[in-house]
Structures are given as structure tokens and as C-alpha cells.
Amino acid sequence: MADYKEIINQYKDLPGGIIEAYHALQKEYSFIPEDSIAYAAQVFDLPLAKAYGVATFYSYLKVGERGKNVIRICESAPCHVAGAQDVVNALEKELGIKMGESTADGKFALEFCECVGQCQVTPVITVNSKPYGDVTPEKIPGILGEYK
Amino acid sequence: MAEEMRIVLRNMGKIDPLNIDDYINAGGYKALEKARQMGQEALIADVRNSGLRGRGGAGFNCGMKWGFSYNVQADQKYVVCNADEGEPGTYKDRTIMENDPQSVLEGMAICGYAIGSNKGYIYCRGEYPYVVDILNKAIAQAKEKGVLGDFDIEVRMGAGAYVCGEESALIESIEGNRGEPRFKPPFPPVIGLWQKPTIVNNVETFANIPVIVEKGGDWYKAIGAEKYPGTKIVTLTGDVNNRTVFEVPTDTTIRQVIYDFGGGIKDGKNFKAVQIGGTSGGFIPESMLDTPIDFDSMSAIGATLGSGAVFVMDETRDIVNVVARIAGFFEHESCGKCSPCREGTKRIHEMMEKLDAGQGSSADLSLLERLGKVMSKACLCGLGQAAPSPVLTTLQNFNGEYQAKLN
């Protein structure tokens, strides 16, 4: 795995680049390593509180470990009425964890999200931002199988 | 039977979006050339004359906005494309960018020429990394062809904050800050990104520009509703037979959208409600379905056109339950900067959950209404101001649903 310092350094000269740097960290680790925030604060010449403030403001950024493959379930109104709760139940059962948790083997993280803009095929889930539409409980094992 | 009219989606399905030659062969980048020959003032005047109003939801006259930035003397100006499409039920900007990214780049370059800017940003939501890839490829092709001249475009990615669709919050996010809206005035066209004059327009607005420049403002303003001319892309979701995307003239009625384009209600059920404009939009009953979708007609019935999302609910849907879920959305997405929104969205959610669980009283209903009215005036930005709209419009149009669930 690449060193977080090297990743952050690549964005040093980009105005306002701290969010892009955080995205790059997540691409590598699937989360923002706790220690990297102090380093990012230094590189972008920000108070530590501000670097934390940015990292914790955005719901797609996660400070501290989580599973490698991030599964998000849309709970916005169109997905809600299309049966998102059934999908949540199926995912929790299949993975043996609750929403907001990661599997013990570090393979999956399970999160709620709001609209992902694929509302022509509700309910929608994404795995590492790749959308899957018209999801039913029956389809869950097959989708997860792609990442096992 | 109402018919579709494709202006923004003129190239959809006809060109390879990742091949700039296809776009050029279809007449692409001729408008940018024409714009440069027209001169800045004539160009802005024609865009203003076209009557094009912002397609992100605010509905401000586009040419007028450009004029504000043009009139400011500055060593640097910016053009920002708002691709932070976050309104639940909306996928129109994704559809545009996936099918015709060059039309957005051309629209931005025309705006750049008009206001005197050589730098553009596309702020694309973090949920669309695959769209970011398309945009970067399209930009690389445009640079290689030299069609953009000295206008540079860079893509920045959001990270899942709905509030960043608000233009000053979006600007804060590009600057690498928390996406919290700024106090206004000053407005972004005068003091925006890095304190420089900045035009923020929606993807759909920019994609309209090349056609307007090519065919002229007079041509455009003859289409659709008089005060909100042109077309609007609508995205249908919920209990309709066709959950899909359409582009229609703005004088199309809600009924035509749902029945002619949406194919009516699924499984032979009856209509109950439609929420238009995204999750912050008003809930509309059957009696108002003959309203045209344009900005002003929608405002007149206490609803919004917003992003053009059309979320249809059939007779079996529990309105109070849906609104409770929406209230949860706003509590989550409130940025917390101003207290009417931070506290208000939390209390609305709390009361809606209570009502949904059958434990609410009629006193809660009047409290909800009062809180909603305060928020719509006192909140700092559009998020908080619009957040109570689903509650207020359902209290008005679907009051029986609340009464039936009272303790």
C-alpha cells in the first residue's frame, strides 16, 4: 500500500486540494487513516481542527478504518417507497452485521446514503460507488459474490 | 398526446459521447465560434433575451447573471458548472453528462468568453465517479483539438453533501473547505470563488447555451411557457409505469408528464400524490395536475419545478411515512451553520416520526406548521428554507392523512 504522505503530496500545489487528497486516500485505503489528517493539515497549511472539520463534514469521507468494499444503501424517498428496507434487512442478514458496521474480515462496510442519482431503477445500492438497480433481497448474494 | 422536444438532449443516442469528432460533426463548437464573433455584450444580451432561466431550481435569468460578472473589473473570473446533482429523484445532469459532455464544455466556454474568464470548474458530485471519468476524457479531447482556445476546465469532486448544490457552499467546497453556505450579499457573480467574480450555472443551463447561441434568443423564447421558456428535463420516479427521463417544453402539464410520458400509475392503481422538484418540493394532489410545469405556474400552486424530479405515489402510499423519511433526509443534510435549520430540521424529523408512529396530537400539527413557516423565512440558505415544504404542502393538501394517524 502506498504511503499516505506520498498520496497527499501529489495534491500539495492544487488550490483547495485537500478534498481531492482525501478522495485519493480513500481510493487507496477505502477510508482516511487517522494519522494522515495531521499530515494533510501540515501540507495544506491549515490548523489541524480545520483539516478534521473538512474530513468529517462530508458523508462520503470516513476517518478511521472501515471495510474495503463500501456498500451504500440509498434511503431517499423514491428508494424508500420501492422497498429499501427489505434490501437493508437482506444485507444485514447476509453479512451478519448491522448498518454502519464492517465485517470482521475487513471485506465489507455497510452504510446508509442519500440519493445516488439512479432513481430510474429504485431501490438502488452501490458497491464502491458502482450502482446496482432494482435490487431485491434475492439479488444480494450474487452482487456480494462479485467482491468476495 | 404531448410530445418530447429535445434541445438539451439533442445528441443523446445519436453520437458517441466519448468521441469529440461526433460532436463536432453534429455541429458542435460552431456556437462558440459564433459567440466570439458576436462580441461579449451582444452575446450576453441575446442569452438574456432568450429568457433562459437557471435549470438548477432557482430560476434566475441566465444572461442577467452573466451581465453581473461581465460588469465587474477583475484580474481573474471563474465559470463553475454545478454538477452536484443531489435532489433525490433527480438524474438529469448525469443523463446530460453521460450522453453529451461536450455540450456542457461548450456552454461553459461560451460563458467564459462572455464574462472574460479563462478558467472553469465542474463540481461533480462524489456519487458519480464514473461521470468524472467521462468529463475528464471529454476535456482532454477538447484540449487536444484546441476547440476551447485558452479556456481551461478542471473537474472537482464533491463528497456526498447535498448542501453543496447551493452555489456558495459549492464554492466553499472547491476551495477545500466545509461546504457551508456564505452570507449574501455579496453574490458569487461579484465575489465568488477565491473572492473573484464567479458564474455558477447548472449542467442543464450550460447544455442549453450552444443551441441558444446558434439559433438565437428569439427562437428559444418562443418555445414553452412565456415566462420560463424552453424545455425542461424531467426524471420520473416512484409508482409510474415508465421510470425514465424526458425533455419537454415548459408548458407541458403535470398530468401529461405522469400519464403521457410516465404511462400512468403502475399496476392499475390510482394516483394519490406527486412531489415535484426533488425532495424539497411540494406534494401535489390530483386537483392540481393540470398545472403547467413551468417555474411560475408551479410557484402559483405553492409547489416548485426545482430540478425537475417527478416522484409519483399511488393510492397505497402512506404520505405521513414518506414525509417522515424526507424529514430525516433534511436533518442529515443540514450543514449546521444556522440554527433555524440545524434545530428546525431535527425537531421536524422528531415530530414527523412521532406522527408516523401514531403518537402525535393535533397540537403537534399546529406546531409543525408554525416551525415550518419560521424556517422558510429564517434559514440562511435554500436548503433550510425549502426543507419544511413537504411538511407544509402535505398539511395543506393531504391533511386527512395526518388526521387518520393522530393519537
Would you call A20 and B90 a contact, using CB atoms and an 8 Å cutoff? no
CA–CA gap between residue B352 and residue B372 (Å, rounded): 12
Cβ pair B91:A129 closer than 8 A: no
| CB of B245 less than 8 A from some CB of A | yes
**B176-196 pLDDT, tens digit each:** 999 999 999 999 999 999 999
Mean pLDDT of B110-130: 98
CA gap A26, B175 in Å, rounded: 20
The pLDDT assigned to B3 comes to 86
The C-alpha atoms of residue B98 and residue B130 are separated, in whole angstroms, by 9
A108: β partners: A69
| Residues of chain A contacting residue B162, judged by C-beta atoms under 8 Å apart | 114
| Interface contact flag, A77 B125, Cβ < 8 Å | no
Band the pLDDT of B57: cuts 50, 70, 90. confident
Distance between terminal CA atoms of chain B? 46
A79: closest chain B residue by CA: B238
Instruction: Find the closest chain B residue to A76 by CA distance.
Output: B88
Q: Are B251 and B257 in contact (CB under 8 A)?
A: no
Among candidates A75, A80, A113 on the partner chain, residue whose Cβ is nearest the Cβ of B160: A113
- In chain B, residues with a C-beta closer than 8 Å to the C-beta of A16 are 156, 174-177
What pLDDT digit, counting tens, does each position of B217-232 carry?
999 999 999 999 999 9
Chain A interface includes B178 (CB < 8 A): yes
Place of cell 453528462: B97
CA B2/CA B140 separation, integer angstroms: 39
Q: Which residues of B touch A20 (CB under 8 A)?
A: 156-157
Taking CA–CA distances from A134, the nearest residue in chain B reads: B243
Average pLDDT over residues B133-144: 98
- Asked if A17 lies within 8 A of B176 by C-beta distance, the reply is yes
Look up the pTM and report it: 0.97
Report which secondary-structure segment, H or E, holds B364: helix B362-378
Average pLDDT score over chain B: 97
Q: Kindly determine whether residue A16 and residue B175, on different chains, have CB atoms separated by under 8 Å.
A: yes
The gap from C-alpha A122 to its chain's centroid, in whole angstroms, comes to 20
